[in-house]
Structures are given as C-alpha cells and as structure tokens.
Amino acid sequence: MTLSNEPPDHKPGVFERPGVIKAIVVALSIVCGLLILAEFFYVKHPHFGFDGWFAFYPAFGFGAYCLIVLGAKALRPLLWRGENYYHEADVDVSDIDPSESSSGSHRRD
C-alpha cells in the first residue's frame, strides 16, 4: 500500500483548471435550457395532473435537491458529534481525528 500525502504538485489537473470547470457549468446550463425548450415538443402523459404542469420535472428536481441538501445541513447541528463519541475507536488507529485520539484510550466499560 502506497501512502503518500505530499503537498500537491502545482500543475493543476484537467478538472482543476478554471476554464474546464467553467465549460462544464456552461454546458450543463445550456443542456438545462434545452430541456426547458423541449417542454414544447413532446406529448405528456401525466398520471395525476400536476405532473403535466409546465416544467414540473425541472422545478421539482431543482427544488427537491435544495430541500434535501439544505434540510440535511439544518439537521447537522442536532446530529453531529465527535468521531469518538461512542468511545469505540481503536487505541492506536490513526483513523480518527488526532485531537480526539486521547479519549480513544478510554473505554466506556
């Protein structure tokens, strides 16, 4: 197993170049625009009525995504705890936050 966490070499990869990232975002926006335009060119088969509204799926996709991500973000203060909250981490395992590792040596029982 090769483990090396060296400082990043300063040659940005393809997906780190601002131009490439911008191109991806622009391409996504164009495709989304085309998908809105497509609303005029196909026959809908709504099952319930509301799923036949103009741009129902785009609006639902955007809204549902925001609801879920922001909802989860709002839940974080309630649910978040330190990595060794349950005191089950292994004494010598580096897989938990070093600042907590001291408590890792205390076993609950």
Partner 1 sequence: MTDWPSDLLGHPLLSPALLMIVGGFVLAASPRQVHGVWLLAIPAAALALLWQLPLGLHGEISLFGFDLTMLRIDGLSRIWATIFLIGSFLSGLYALHVRDRIQHVASLIYAGAAIGAVLAGDLVTLFIFWEGTAISSVFLIWARRTVRAHIVGLRYLVIQVTSGLLLMVGTIIHYRATGSIAFNHLGLETAGGWLIFLAFGIKAAFPLLHNWVQDAYPEATVTGTVVLSIFTTKLAIYSLARGYAGTELLITVGAVMTIFPIFFAVIENDLRRVLAYSLNNQLGFMVVGIGIGTNLAINGAAAHAFAHILYKGLLFMSMGAVLHRVGTVKASELGGLYKSMPWTAAFCIVGSMSISAFPLFSGFVTKSMILTAAAEQHHWIAWTALLLASAGVLDHSGIKVPFFSFFHHDVGWRVKEAPLNMLLAMGAAAFLCIGIGVYPAPLYAILPFAVDYSAYSTAHVINQLQLLLFAALAFVVLFRNGWYPAEIRGLNLDSDWVYRHALPAMAARIHRALVATREHARAKLGRLGSGSYGWLKSHYGSTGALSRTWTTGVMLLWAGVLLALYLVIYY
> Do residues 90 and 71 touch, judged by C-beta distance below 8 A?
no
Task: Give the number of C-alpha atoms closer than 13 A to the C-alpha of residue 33, restricted to the C-beta side.
Answer: 6
Binds partner 1 (CB under 8 A): choice among 16, 17, 53, 105: 16
Q: For partner 1, what does the binding mask look like between residues 19 and 38, x meaning CB under 8 A?
A: ------x--xx-xx--xx-x
SS3 label, residue 22:
helix
Answer positive or negative: Cα dihedral of 83, 84, 85, 88: positive
Q: Kindly list the residues in this chain that would bind partner 1 in the complex (CB under 8 A).
A: 1-8, 12-13, 15-16, 25, 28-29, 31-32, 35-36, 38, 42-45, 47-48, 55, 57-62, 64-73, 75-76, 78-83, 85-86, 88-91, 93, 95-97, 108
